[in-house]
Structure 1
Amino acid sequence: MTTSVVFIHGLWIHSVSWNPWQELFERHGYRTFAPGWPGDGETVADTRSHPERVAGLGVQEVTAFYTQVVGVLDEAPIVVGHSFGGLIAQKLLDHGLAAAAVCISPAPIKGIRAVPFSLLRSSFPVLKNPANRSKAVALTARQFAYSFGNAISPEESTELHRDLTIPSPGRPLFEASTANLRRSSPTAVDTQRSERGPLLLIANGKDHTVPAVVVRGAHRLYARGGSPADLRTYEDRGHSAPFDHGWRELADDTLAWLDGHALRP
């Protein structure tokens, strides 16, 4: 029986984005946690006021932080991650620190070859300047509308940008973009590992930041191993799917998937 769920946000979105999920999961009997990345403030405003606190953080440092988070729990939790949070969730599952993982539009792990134009364009605000590797970068409302809000109304995109966005470290994007050029990379996951908990990969068909083809690439890598991942695709959703007006569909389906794997309180 697994009763704890740890939610992990990705770049540019504060952990308060998980509040509706936490309320829903707690009504279903789960104990939930949604700690921000190291350096994040308790609020969006505080995090925006101190971008220097997250500058320079990479995938390894963020993974180490969440390793400590799950390590103090009395059981291996379920981890639910979005974007780079989905990559971190896979690493925790790979390391045997999670009972199961649900990864929504997860950032590409090492080995995925697909590099769609929209992914490059979404990353361009960071990758255009090598100095951003050691800095924190914020998205403008226009950049957010392309990367996150293209499948929702302009009004909702503007509202989400206002309420949820924070500066985030540029380094993870540089690490992901060069992963296949290096022998080792912090974005690497052992997709051949047969002894791990269940894994659900969620793709969104209109996602510009992590296009569905990237998530399908991860699914194929796991399929070659001894413990395949499950894949679910929402054709009309974008990168804002877990925290826009349609979040409940993903959350309810996640609860049903957990129930199907007997991962319930």
Structure 2
Amino acid sequence: MTTPTPVIFIHGLWLHATSWEPWIELFAREGYAPSAPGWPGDPETVEDSRDNPESIADHGIDDVVEHYAAIIRGLDTAPILIGHSFGGMIAQKLLGQNLAAAAVAIDAAQIKGVLPLPLSALRATLPVFRNPGNKHRAVSLTAEQFRFAFGNAVSEEESNLLFARWTIPAPGKPLFEAAAANFNPHSPAKVDTANGLRGPLLLMTGGKDHTVPEAVTRATLKQYRHSDAVTDITDFPDKGHSLTVDSGWREVADTALAWLRRQSL
């Protein structure tokens, strides 16, 4: 009997790990062994996360990478990683360390070496950067801020429903680390993009994403130009940063599944 390939879903800032539930159900039906472990310090539920923001605060990129690396080391088979936003950056780092069979990075946060910093991305992250003290705190979004950063490509009603269902406070530290990446030779946002022996990578980008605009994902793709490993990109012109959780999530998930099948995974 063939052992199902594990798939680990990695959430980004402001969304709880349980937001991957529809993806988990789909991937399980497709014969994979999916799971969505939270970040270090993440409580089990959205409600507990909102009630205990201090448990989430002050976790940086390296903390999160090591947290997932430890989970991977406990598996019998190298997993497929699917990450959204900062989860997409984490997935790329783990793939570059040869800890994964493949990775799908959806609207992935900016890695070291990526230079474009569109104004919309600055506005989307302003709730964190407006106070330097937020580097060591967990920061929540308002419904209006979520609408701009995540839900701008769906109706206001849907954006508000997503906000109420899935949002949690997020640690400010990863954003400060990513913002300083190009000035720090040892930045935790650095990814081994030249690794030619890693598994295949698919970058996905939403054409209406305010938080990680398409220009950032295109610039990320260029960072992999020195690697012979498979590096593909898929564009969803009409989708924003909420593309993994909104009413159009199935198109994104089906695209990821089709790509994995093409990689014989």
Q: Do these two structures clear the TM 0.5 threshold for a shared fold by scoring above it? A: yes
Q: Deviations over 1:164-200 (max 9, x none)?
A: 0000100000000010011110000011110100000
**Mapping for residues 1-265 of structure 1, pairs under 5 Å:** 3-263=5-265
Q: What is the identity, as a one-letter code, of the residue corresponding to 2:198?
A: R
State TM-score, norm by structure 1.
0.98
Task: For residue 213 of structure 1, report the CA deviation from its aligned partner.
Answer: 0.5
SS of match in other structure, 1:203 = strand
Q: What is the identity, as a one-letter code, of the residue corresponding to 2:264?
A: A
Q: How far apart are the structure 2 equivalents of 1:191 and 1:103?
A: 13
Q: What is the identity, as a one-letter code, of the residue corresponding to 2:116?
A: A
SS of match in other structure, 2:239 = coil
Query: How many residue pairs end up in the alignment?
Result: 263
Q: Deviations over 1:197-252 (max 9, x none)?
A: 00000011000000010000010111233325100000000000011000000101
Task: For residue 69 of structure 1, report the CA deviation from its aligned partner.
Answer: 1.1
Where structure 1 has 5 or more consecutive residues not aligned to the other structure, the ranges are none
Q: What is the identity, as a one-letter code, of the residue corresponding to 1:87?
A: M
Q: What is the identity, as a one-letter code, of the residue corresponding to 2:17?
A: S
SS of match in other structure, 2:224 = helix
| Residues 2, 75 of structure 1: 8 Å contact kept | no
| Residues 95, 199 of structure 2: 8 Å contact kept | yes
Q: How far apart are the structure 1 equivalents of 2:180 and 2:84?
A: 21
| Residues 4, 33 of structure 2: 8 Å contact kept | no
| Residues 8, 85 of structure 1: 8 Å contact kept | yes
Q: How far apart are the structure 1 equivalents of 2:250 and 2:16?
A: 18
Q: What is the identity, as a one-letter code, of the residue corresponding to 1:86?
A: G
Q: How far apart are the structure 1 equivalents of 2:109 and 2:77?
A: 26
Runs of 4+ in 1 over 4 A off after TM superposition: none
State TM-score, norm by structure 2.
0.98
| Residues 10, 83 of structure 1: 8 Å contact kept | yes
Task: For residue 9 of structure 1, report the CA deviation from its aligned partner.
Answer: 0.1
Task: For residue 128 of structure 1, report the CA deviation from its aligned partner.
Answer: 1.0
| Residues 97, 192 of structure 2: 8 Å contact kept | no
| Residues 125, 211 of structure 2: 8 Å contact kept | yes
Q: How far apart are the structure 1 equivalents of 2:28 and 2:159?
A: 27
Q: How far apart are the structure 1 equivalents of 2:194 and 2:8?
A: 24
Task: For residue 2 of structure 1, report the CA deviation from its aligned partner.
Answer: 6.3
Indicate the RMSD between aligned Cα atoms, in angstroms.
0.9
